[in-house]
Structure formats: C-alpha cells, structure tokens
A and B are shown apart, each in its own frame.
Chain A
Amino acid sequence: MIALVQKAAEEQSPLVPPLPELVIGLLAFAIVFFFLWKKLLPNINKVLEERREAIEGGIEQAEAAKEEAAEVLKQYKDQLAEARHEAARMRSEAQEQGATLIAEMRAEGQRQREEIVAAGHTQLEADRKQAALALRQDVGKLATELAGKLVGESLEEHARQSRTIDRFLDELEEKAEAAR
C-alpha cells in the first residue's frame, strides 16, 4: 500500500488527461462518426426504407389476393345457393305435376267407371222394359184366351177395344210400385 502511494505520487494522477491521447481519441471518434454519419448509416437507412416499402407492398398484394379470394368465394356461394334454389323449385314443380297427374287419372277413372255403370243401368232398364212389355202382351193374351175359353166367346176384339186388360195391369203395377 505504501509502495502504491509512493508510486502514485511519482506518477501523474490518472484523472489528469494526457494531451496526445485526448487528441488521438477525438480524432478516432471523429473518423468513426464521419463515416457512419455521411456514408454508412444513410446507406442502411435507404435499404431499411426500401425494405419497409417492400414489406408494405407485399402486405398490399396479400390484401388484394385476400379480397379476390373473398369475392370468388362469395360468387361460388351465390351460385351454390342459386343451384339449390333451382333444384328445390324443380322438385316442388315435379311434385305438383305428379299430384296433378294422379288427380287427373283418378278423375278419368271415376268418369269411366260412372260411364260403365250408367251404360249397365240403361241396358238393364231397356231389358227390363222390354221384358215387361213382352210379359204384358203374353199375360194379356193368355188371360184373354183363358177368359174367352171360360166365357165361351171370344172377347179378344172387345178387350182390344176397351183396353180393359191394360188398365187392369196398370193398376196392378201401380199397386206393386206403391207397395215397394
């Protein structure tokens, strides 16, 4: 410690700056500062700016692509919805048509059935009437013949003129109708 103090006393205080070193230090710093200030930092600033622009350009492009994709997606969705709508419309149309067709067929069938039934009824009525007519004639003739035989004289002419038989039969018929 004593030696240290002695040495310190001999030497210059470390807080007193040696002049040549001060000059060299300032000079060295000035050189560094000059090159960085005038040449190198403007260089890198320019590139940093360019890079920023490039990145921003990239972002813009990406945004444009995104917008386009969204547009395409929207179109696609619209088309899909339209197609779906169309399909639904066609389906309901077909259903409607089918239903109409069935109803038409049903109506036609009904009509044909009724026609057939009506034709049957008409035929039946005609047959019945014919049968009744034939029967009336036969029965009249038989009754007249029988009565003639019983009375002993032909009543045929008289009967035909008086139409008694017919009246009688009509009465019978009316009775039967009423009873039914």
Chain B
Amino acid sequence: MQKELAVSADQMLAFETDCHLFDGCGFTEVSPGLHSFVFEPIATFGGIHFNKTMLLALLGTIAILWFFWAAFSKPKIVPGKVQMIGEAGYDFIRRGIVYETIGKKEGEKYVPFMVSLFFFVWVMNLWSVIPLAQFPVTSIISYPMGLAAIVYVMWVSLTFKRHGFVGAFKNFTGYDKSLGPVLPMSMTIEFFSNLLVRPFTHAVRLFANMFAGHLLIVMFTIASWYMLNGIGIAYAGVSFLMTIAMTAFELFIQAVQAYVFVLLACSYIQGALAESH
C-alpha cells in the first residue's frame, strides 16, 4: 500500500527541497499532509514492511522496560534517584487515577494494567519531540485502536461477568424505569453511545490529538524553512518561534492525553463494576 505513494514523510522532512517563498514555488508543494504520516519501509520481512513507526514502538517498549528495570529490579527501602522517580510515576497512576476512580479494593488488580497503559501511551506520544525520531507513534491509528480494543474487551466482558446477560444489557443501555416513555429512546442512544461510539472516541481522541499536534509542529518547521528567503526571513523567525512553542505545548498535550486515556479506561471499568441503577 505504502509503496504506491509518490512522496513519503522521510523525503519531505529532510530539508533538501529548494522550494522557498518568492521563488515561484508554492507552499502546497512542500506542505505537510497525510503523507507526513507514511514512511518508506526500512526493511521487509516476508512481505511485511518494517517502518519507522514500528521501530519507534519497539524502541519505546525497550525504553520503558529499561527505565522500570533500572527503577524496580532491585528496589531498596531507601530509594535511589531512579527508583524514586519510578515510584512517583507508579504512585501517581495507582493513587491518582486507579484508586480515585475504581477504588482501592476493586481497583488493585487493574493497577499493573493501568500503569503499563499510561507509560506506554506517554512514551509513544513522547517520540513526537525526541530529536531524530520526532514522530508520535500514537498518531498512527493502529496503536490507540489496539489499546482501546483491549480496554473495550476488558470492560464489556467484566460487565457480563458482574451483572449477567440481562444486568449487562441494563448497564449498557442505562435502564431506568423512572424515565417512562423516553426510556426506549434513551436506551437506544445509550446503547450506541456506550458500545459503539465509546471505543471509537477513546481511540480517536488520542490519535487525533497526536496527529494534529504532529501536523502543527511539522507545518511550522517546514514553513520556517520555506519562508527563509529575502524579507521572508522575518516570517520564518516567527514560524520558528511557533515551532518551539508548539513543541512545548505538545509536551503538555502528550502527558494530558496519556492521562485522559488511562482515566477513561478506569472510568469504563468502574462503570462495569458499578451496580445497575
């Protein structure tokens, strides 16, 4: 599929174009777009193309494991620096998200999953601003979708296990007798909202944020280069400042989106555990 593309992100991101403002070259020729999210395969194993995103995903996995290995493989009662940071992160997810939403008793067994989920998403987001990589893995829909699917399967099966078939149906549809004649409509909406829209928005929220963030950074970066000609240097300066500002903003968004992703996962599970109204 990717072979058919005329241009790929790798070619466009290298500042090799001679396309500048006032040179009779339009910005559309260099502007970022969907092609910025497609990469030429680095290698091909048995017909499967191994590309930059996959490499970053695997490197990110190694980075997470490396960090937590350094922090928690030989933990001490009086912690060292790395262990202290690891504990802070662990505690933030455990107490700040899981215990807060699901509760200490029920939530305990979801802690490892949620901690993994948060750091996985965060590191995959972080690639966006890591020099040389500079691409958020989560801006490829496959990654958020896979994670959202796991969460979806978890909470749906948990609902059935907790409430039985009828109870689960009531839980999904928000069955409430007091609604009276509105009940069929509300149940239909709730059913679609919970079972069909929810996993989609869960994945797309993360994907779209990272996608748009990356697009903005790339846009300002390329624009800085594009306008670097004659009087355009002044504009290029502004554009470059915007690149820096957007990068800082992205750092914030990356953490927030990872947090939101885990928070939503927890609230879905909490909803599955909750007694039907």
Do B90 and A18 have beta carbons less than 8 Å apart? no
Residues of B within 8 A of A19 (CB): 142
Do A36 and B5 have beta carbons less than 8 Å apart? no
Say whether A16 faces chain B, with CB atoms less than 8 Å apart: yes
A-B contact pairs, 28 of them (CB 8 A): A4-B33, A7-B35, A11-B5, A11-B38, A12-B1, A14-B207, A15-B204, A15-B207, A17-B142, A21-B53, A21-B57, A22-B142, A22-B143, A25-B57, A25-B147, A28-B120, A29-B61, A31-B65, A32-B116, A32-B120, A33-B113, A35-B65, A36-B112, A40-B68, A43-B73, A43-B75, A46-B75, A50-B77
Residues of B within 8 A of A1 (CB): 28
The complex places the Cα of A29 from the Cα of B119 at a distance, in Å, of 10
* 4 tightest A-B CB contacts, nearest first: A21-B142, A47-B75, A37-B112, A17-B142
Say whether B22 faces chain A, with CB atoms less than 8 Å apart: no
Do A7 and B34 have beta carbons less than 8 Å apart? yes
A-B contact sample (20 more), CB < 8 A, given A11-B35, A16-B141: A1-B28, A7-B33, A11-B5, A12-B1, A14-B140, A14-B207, A15-B141, A15-B207, A17-B140, A18-B1, A18-B142, A20-B54, A22-B143, A24-B57, A31-B61, A36-B68, A40-B69, A40-B73, A43-B73, A44-B72
Question: What class of interface size applies to chain B in its complex with A?
Answer: 35 or more
Residues of B within 8 A of A35 (CB): 65, 68-69
The complex places the Cα of A51 from the Cα of B78 at a distance, in Å, of 8
Q: Whole-angstrom distance from the CB of A82 to the nearest CB of chain B?
A: 47
Say whether A179 faces chain B, with CB atoms less than 8 Å apart: no
Residues of B within 8 A of A37 (CB): 112-113, 116
Say whether A116 faces chain B, with CB atoms less than 8 Å apart: no
Do B75 and A41 have beta carbons less than 8 Å apart? no
Q: Whole-angstrom distance from the CB of B3 to the nearest CB of chain A?
A: 12
Do B6 and A10 have beta carbons less than 8 Å apart? yes
Residues of B within 8 A of A31 (CB): 61, 65
Say whether B76 faces chain A, with CB atoms less than 8 Å apart: yes
- In this complex, what residue of B is CB-closest to A5? B33
Q: Whole-angstrom distance from the CB of B124 to the nearest CB of chain A?
A: 8
Do A32 and B57 have beta carbons less than 8 Å apart? no
Question: Which of A4, A14, A46 makes the CB contact (< 8 A) with B37?
Answer: A14
Q: Give residues in A with beta carbon < 8 Å to B.
A: 1-4, 7-8, 10-12, 14-22, 24-26, 28-29, 31-33, 35-37, 39-41, 43-44, 46-48, 50-51, 54
User: Which residues of chain B in 194-238 are interfacial with respect to chain A, using CB atoms and an 8 Å cutoff?
Assistant: 204, 207, 211
Residues of B within 8 A of A20 (CB): 48-49, 54
Residues of A within 8 A of B90 (CB): 41, 44
Question: Which one of B65, B69, B86 has the greatest number of beta carbons of chain A within 10 Å?
Answer: B65
Do B72 and A43 have beta carbons less than 8 Å apart? yes
Q: Whole-angstrom distance from the CB of A19 to the nearest CB of chain B?
A: 8
Do A54 and B142 have beta carbons less than 8 Å apart? no
Do A14 and B57 have beta carbons less than 8 Å apart? no
Q: Whole-angstrom distance from the CB of A127 to the nearest CB of chain B?
A: 112
Do A28 and B112 have beta carbons less than 8 Å apart? no
Residues of B within 8 A of A11 (CB): 5, 34-35, 38
Say whether B115 faces chain A, with CB atoms less than 8 Å apart: yes
Do B72 and A41 have beta carbons less than 8 Å apart? yes
The complex places the Cα of A17 from the Cα of B140 at a distance, in Å, of 7
Q: Whole-angstrom distance from the CB of B136 to the nearest CB of chain A?
A: 13
The complex places the Cα of A43 from the Cα of B145 at a distance, in Å, of 31
Q: Decide yes or no: A18 and B61 within 8 Å by CB, A3-B28, A43-B72 being known contacts.
A: no
Do B34 and A14 have beta carbons less than 8 Å apart? yes
Say whether B265 faces chain A, with CB atoms less than 8 Å apart: no
- In this complex, what residue of A is CB-closest to B57? A28
